[in-house]
Structure 1
């Protein structure tokens, strides 16, 4: 699938000829850096390179002091939402990299170090701006392109995702490695901006150039979901499953999208089957926070639909306690809290909330500020719903509903909070809360067209609160 990643890897002279000079003198390091970013952008393991993880190990060993490779590692760790400035080892790594970059790095590398460290220290919006600025001067800098795209996603900046790719895509020649993947990235930015027709064209172009572009498959799934084309979405995901399932990290998320198409049709056993066969097993293999989000979100959505998913399925999202002090993005924390509560890990959930509240006072970090203003009320509202305290949940979540985009994720992912708020209002005993439901249903339909799930919510409201 990704064996092309090993083709014609750039040595030091190759990077220089591309206008992206490196300070390392190790050709092996230069080639392995090229191999690493290609696998990251394609979400794929190149077998001939030993896979992404092995490539990273060899990259470090080839020149432990290489500035650009180390900036890549810091950005990768931060944007992977697994590390943050409060991790003392990661903090020391960033400080040492800054010092070494000043001594040995070239100007482009220093800017990459600045961006990666800004992100790692919680200055997420400044980091995104810095990566965008690098792209202005170096439009074919794929590391800046990839990190900018991810940063805007976690910042909830729809226009940023679109505009960053839009300004460089026509400056790439078609024969550059990973060129086709720009169309998939562009498609996702367009989709999040509501430009569904243009987004689908870009996703199709990416897939015509490379059918294994699992990010483009993901972007098309978003378009089909938001447009209410659920039957077409299911057919597309199953027809192309063998193409996108090999994308190492995004495959879990693409299975999650497939499950959402089933939920729209109330095909709950099919969605549970996807959880059992793919999502739970993949999380327990990767133990990734991003996979945890998909697992928690899917089970919660099924429960909102009245499905008894069983305690054992929640228990299959294992070893969550180690994440309670992470707080890289509050989007993760909310899903983590829900999962811990459903697992009856009440003491661990309480520790998570206490930790999040303490972290929220660190207003030097963007995510801490967002956690305080939006994340904490959202967290509490979700847990209020879990405790069947529907009035409290509605009153907590309704005032922040238009701000939730700031916690990051996609419109499709954040719909779990919209559904929970609507269900809270429907189940509320207070007329001032349940009377908000028609407004919320209209708002959701405006965002997600022709939703069968939305129709079920409307039917439930009319049955519980007849005129």
Structure 2
């Protein structure tokens, strides 16, 4: 029995395996490309390490790809067999149960398993990170914050993983509107862990939400060490940089980032896909010609839109299908979302609300039926967070809702949405909000002048 870098016991018997496990932990925390390499070596050295198989299965489910579900099921079966044959710790049993909970359609129970592991040892950073990650997928910002706050006292200055905890807390603080604290914690975390891409991106979120574009661009440009090493998370950092440049009106830089960085690898990973599709929508809403860029994404969306693993992913596939005017494919995806919404799982409840209405709203917007689009989108606007992701990621649906309301002439309701969006940003008015507020004022003035005639 060894103690890992999280100061938790693991049922490993080989010191080389312990080294590989610690490499897995560091790789996961830093979103590094090395994590799966270390995990492969670990399971070669100790194939009976149940926790390693549980992590493999949980990682597969986080990809939200239908073909990865059998991989997760196989990992779960292997993990359960390893539990029965070995001498696992309580923490390892909890991880294996978390995987089975998620496979059973109850990811919230998987979170509870991770929280139970944290009660065994508040310094267990990797269990915190997995709880944090699943909560992020479920859109549970308050839960992310309370979870990390509870373990921070156990991650003092002498804890080797303190920086990553600060980075997670920074992100949770940003998502719950504590922007000043988030900025401070994120920058402090980078001092402890210079390779913490999550912490860096948390501060980038702050600068996006508070309309401090120059600060955000400088942060990303001056901290390449925090994200150059990353897996595909580096594309997401490039996406953040593109958003900041778009807010500044620097369209040429945005398009260059899209072509050379964000879509340099034409993957169909839903996270990469969401970066791309949401950025193209933002550009088109500003009247910018994006050329034939939709075609590549729409082709991929047609191959992925039967997955049904995650509403957030499905709705970004819908952005591409409607963006490329593939009405039949969009109709099929809307029908599939509606069908899945009839299920009994937690995922089905999100498909039901907001998934169905957002899908219908996006189709209507694409068809130019703005009144219907606004009705659908506005009806579930308070539930947007349930689809998961961050405020910045969901903002594309906010923008389409606002634009639909503006084009439908629902000026009062649209202004109310804009004011709520500005309030969420502590009064910061970005370029999108400014232009829409001006359009609403112009429309009111026109109505007044017509009425006076």
Taking structure 2 as the reference length, the TM-score comes to 0.91
Q: Secondary structure at the match of 2:194?
A: coil
Of 273, 277, 280, the residue aligned with 1:292 is 273
The aligned counterpart of 2:284 is 303
Counterpart position of 2:433? 454
Q: Offset at 1:246?
A: 3.1
Deviates more, 1:235-244 or 1:60-69: 235-244
Name the count of aligned residue pairs. Answer: 443
CA distance in 1, matches of 2:21, 2:268: 25
Structure 1 gaps, min length 5: 1-11, 46-50
Structure 1 residue 264: Cα displacement:
1.4
Contact 1:280 1:317 in 2 (8 A): no
Match of 2:387 among 407, 416, 419: 407
The corresponding residue for 1:14 is 3
Quote how far apart the aligned CAs of 1:411 are.
1.1
**Maintained 8 Å contact 1:381/1:397:** yes
Match of 1:97 among 45, 55, 79: 79
- Structure 1's consecutive aligned runs of 4 or more residues displaced over 6 angstroms after TM superposition are none
CA distance in 2, matches of 1:39, 1:111: 21
Q: Shift of the alpha carbon at 1:197?
A: 1.1
The residue that corresponds to 2:302 in the other structure is 321
**Does residue 271 of the first structure (1) align with residue 254 of the second (2)?**
yes
Which residues in structure 2 correspond to 1:116-127 (within 5 Å)? 116-127=99-110
Structure 1's 323 and 208: CA in aligned 2 closer, same or farther, altered over 3 A? same
Which whole-Å CA distance do the structure 2 matches of 1:231 and 1:402 have between them? 31
- Worse-matched range after superposition: 309-318 or 409-418: 309-318
SS in 2 for 1:270: helix
Matched, 1:180 2:169: no
Question: Matches of 2:375 and 2:273 in 1, distance apart?
Answer: 28
CA deviations over 1:50-71 (Å, ceiling 9, x no partner): x333323222322223201111
Find 1:445's aligned residue among 422, 432, 452.
422
Residue pair 2:167, 2:186 contacting (<8 A) in 1 also = yes
Indicate conservation of the 8 Å contact 1:262/1:268, yes or no. yes
Q: Report the CA distance between 1:119 and its aligned residue.
A: 2.3
**Does 1:343 find its partner at 2:324?**
yes
Given that 1:84 and 1:328 are in contact with CA atoms closer than 8 Å, whether structure 2 keeps it comes out as no
Residue 412 (structure 1) shift: 1.3
Confirm or deny: 8 A CA contact 1:280 1:316 kept in the other structure: no
Asked if 1 retains the 8 angstrom alpha-carbon contact of 2:183 and 2:206, the reply is yes
- CA shift, 1:113, in A, is 0.8
Other-structure match for 2:451:
none
**CA distance in structure 2 between the aligned counterparts of 1:189 and 1:296, rounded to whole angstroms:** 25
The alpha carbon displacement at 1:395 in A equals 0.5
Q: Note the C-alpha offset of 1:240.
A: 2.7
Aligned to 1:169: 152
> In 2, distance between residues paired with 1:217 and 1:152?
19
Does residue 360 (structure 1) correspond to residue 349 (structure 2)? The answer is no
Counterparts of 1:399 and 1:316, CA distance in 2: 28
CA displacement at 1:84 relative to structure 2: 8.0
**CA-based RMSD:** 2.3
Distance 1:116 1:90, change over 3 A: closer
Tell me if 1:41 matches 2:29.
Answer: yes
CA distance in 1, matches of 2:398, 2:131: 27
TM-score (norm 1): 0.88
The one of 219, 224, 230 aligned to 2:207: 224
